Chains A and B, each alone.
Chain A
Amino acid sequence: MQMNHKIRADILSILRDAIRVLEEKDSYSLRQLSDHSIHNASIFQDSHSISIAVVIYALSKIIDRMARIEPQVIEALKWAKDKLEQNDIPGYEAELTSLVRLISDFDSRMGKYTHQVISEARIKKGSRIYEHGISLAQTAKLLGTTQWELMRYIGQTTIADGFNDKPSMRQRLDFTRGLFR
């Protein structure tokens, strides 16, 4: 099992910082850390960059809601960091999976019908990848979510604004009128 050298270095840096800011219950800094991996997630579209972005963002939301984090979450992050430092990629992936399970358990204890924190994190991170210029369908596939979810979220932000102004609005309307004359 291989991991790109740059991606591994970036994830290790994120994990070290995340453990520190989690202990400080600093959700804002956690979200910033999550955003760091979106750069790699957009370019390399690897599962590791995407999953760490989702997990760290989900943890920031748990801090927002609970104002605390359970010790086993920090322990799991430390284990994940150790495995990655040892270049044990399957071990790292297993630790991240256990983190997702812990977060999902939190959701079920909150009595939600769906795995809300993780699915919200997927949508949020997906919106950032779309913002970077990756198509909606490709983003939905990468994040394991749907275009329905992404569109509804993206529409509430300025992300959906276009970035090309040709043809002009007048030309677009005139062309559309011509189709239905």
Chain B
Amino acid sequence: MSSIVFDAGPIISLTLNNLLHILPELKLRYNGDFYITREVYRELIEQPLGTKKYKFEAMQILPYIASGTLKIVEHDGVKAVAAGLEHSANRAFSAERNHIRIVHPADMEVVAAALHLSSEAVVFDERTTRTLIEDPIALKNHLARKLHTDVIMDEDKVKDISKQIGHLKVIRSFELVALAFELGFLDKFIAPGEEIYVTGLKSKLLEGALWSIKLSGCSVSQEEIEETLSLLGDKLL
């Protein structure tokens, strides 16, 4: 069975933008399952339910878990693989004779779950884990630039990590929303008769949705938004 594993970030982005409804619609078109890990469940549901803030948001996510749109990965082996990945990732870069802990065990659990399930993709909105998978050299250069110090990369560790996880494909909530627009899943935000008041409704809908996802913390640049608007231009008519 095909699968896609979600980190907490993309679900948070969709929730904050009233876009969770695209998940079951996308899943209907996908020949497989959507998964989250136990730690992601904790961040999305258990933690906010214990506070005043984001409790309502957690209650909006819960039905998608109860209905099976998002399944929870339950496998003892995932934690063991995650621990190994975390150990390597958090020893891959060092500065001032200190290993920099770049990732959290929860990040590596998402990756380990994707490995366990042989998933087609992982969904990450935060950029550190995504860049570790896609381009660890860029991560090293970024750390050095921001920390204003030499960052030493353990090439053996990075090679080992890349060998294990470099083949994973990463997408963001941004791409999911762009595709949802393309497939007409956002059309519910346009009611008949609105064009009397506002011209270029579809264009405004797409631009608004993409910017909202960025403004909710998805790691995407303004240039990528502009490129996406240009690439989806023929869908705006």
Contacts and interface: CB of A to CB of B under 8 A. Distances in A.
B216 interface: yes
Interface in A136-179: 136-138, 140-141, 146-156, 160-164, 166-167, 169-170, 172-173, 175-177, 179
B206 interface: no
Given A43-B96, A137-B106, A179-B120, A166 B135 contact: yes
Contact of A133 (B9, B139, B175, B221): B139
B102 A134 contact: yes
Contact of B100 (A42, A161, A163, A169): A42
Chain B interface size range = 35 or more
A114 B55 CA distance: 15
The 9 A-B residue pairs with the shortest CB-CB distance in the complex, in nearest-first order: A151-B217, A137-B104, A136-B126, A155-B217, A135-B128, A138-B104, A164-B138, A176-B175, A164-B135
* Chain A interface main SS type: helix
Interface of A: 6, 39, 42-45, 113-114, 130-138, 140-141, 146-156, 160-164, 166-167, 169-170, 172-173, 175-177, 179-181
Contact of A147 (B12, B51, B120, B182): B12
Interface string B163-181: 0000001011001101100
Interface of B: 4, 8-9, 12-13, 16, 26, 29-30, 43, 47-48, 51-54, 57, 95-96, 98, 100-104, 106-107, 120-121, 125-131, 134-135, 138-139, 142-143, 146-149, 169, 171-172, 175-176, 178-179, 182-183, 214-222, 224, 227-228, 231
